[in-house]
Homo-oligomer: A and B are copies of this chain.
């Protein structure tokens, strides 16, 4: 159950209207890396996490709720950046001033002209208000979020999401010199870093957490690096020497076409790996049983009930 408090989590202020920046800022309201995307990603992940991992559920809900609160900060800022637009639109019978503006005569000073140039829908659809779309008008879409029912995967998705969100705030900060707005962006950007660290700590808390999911990798196909893009080839730690934390060496396939031909489409592989393959399969079974049992045991027999209204509260 949610509850709303009219105070913003951060004291968002705006020195003066700036519809142009309002439009850029829409990226973080209704864009692919924005606050709604973050909030909905962690919120949906939380449902699946609740039973087997009530501690991670608590964390995901805490952060999801903070992201909803950030969504509100971003929306409030956009609304304040559009001050004047709605009032001007309500003066519906009078178009004289607007038309002057459209001719460029009064453009510099006129907010409504800036609003229309930045985003036509500010003037004709949203009435100078906020909308869950990005800076080019694309409606927010649930394809932006990832929730896959496995914490070793979900938490990695979150590390990537926080990284992108941080970068977008960093970029946005270059495009406003309003010190109040700058401070709000600094707050929001930094919270993405803080969340990153929370998710990193939570992922470390699950062991083993690699590979993501349950199954081990197949030893026959794990070590090859295929040099499929020729020209000036470069070697680096991603294709020579040791694989990170794997106890294995990279196997650099310099001529992948010949390799594929020679191995009959990689089906005729090294027999010495057979033993390792069997071990991997054994590990897969044990891991499967462990993870499966963990989930199944956490689910109640019979009627499911989400909340326990008699539980002692904090």
Contacts and interface: CB of A to CB of B under 8 A. Distances in A.
Interface in A249-268: 256-257, 260-261, 264-267
Given A44-B129, A145-B132, A58 B229 contact: yes
B157 A156 contact: no
A106 interface: no
Chain A contact residues (Cβ within 8 angstroms of B): what range?
Answer: 35 or more
Contact of A5 (B58, B120, B257): B257
A48 to B, nearest CB: 4
A204 to B, nearest CB: 7
B58 A234 contact: yes
A246 to B, nearest CB: 6
Nearest to A129: B48
A140 B138 contact: no
A78 B147 CA distance: 14
A43 to B, nearest CB: 8
A20 B102 contact: yes
Contacts of A279: none
Contacts of A187: 218, 220-221, 266
Contacts of A128: 48, 149
Interface string A164-182: 1011101111111100100
Interface in A238-288: 238-239, 243-244, 246, 256-257, 260-261, 264-267, 281, 284-285, 287-288
B92 A4 contact: no
Contact of A47 (B88, B130, B191, B304): B130
A5 B1 contact: yes
Contact of A232 (B58, B80, B102): B58
Given A90-B214, A129-B149, A9 B4 contact: no
A250 B33 CA distance: 25
A153 to B, nearest CB: 5
B288 A93 contact: yes
Contact of A260 (B9, B12, B302): B9
B238 A2 contact: no
B309 A48 contact: no
Contacts of A239: 59, 62, 198
Contact of A170 (B132, B142, B215): B215
Q: Which 5 A-B pairs have the closest CB atoms?
A: A127-B149, A11-B265, A6-B231, A136-B137, A139-B142
Given A90-B291, A231-B313, 5 more contacts: A4-B61, A123-B174, A124-B175, A157-B160, A163-B211
22 contacts: A5-B257, A12-B265, A14-B303, A24-B124, A40-B132, A66-B226, A88-B292, A89-B174, A90-B294, A92-B213, A92-B215, A93-B285, A93-B287, A98-B175, A139-B141, A141-B142, A143-B143, A170-B215, A189-B217, A196-B211, A231-B311, A261-B309
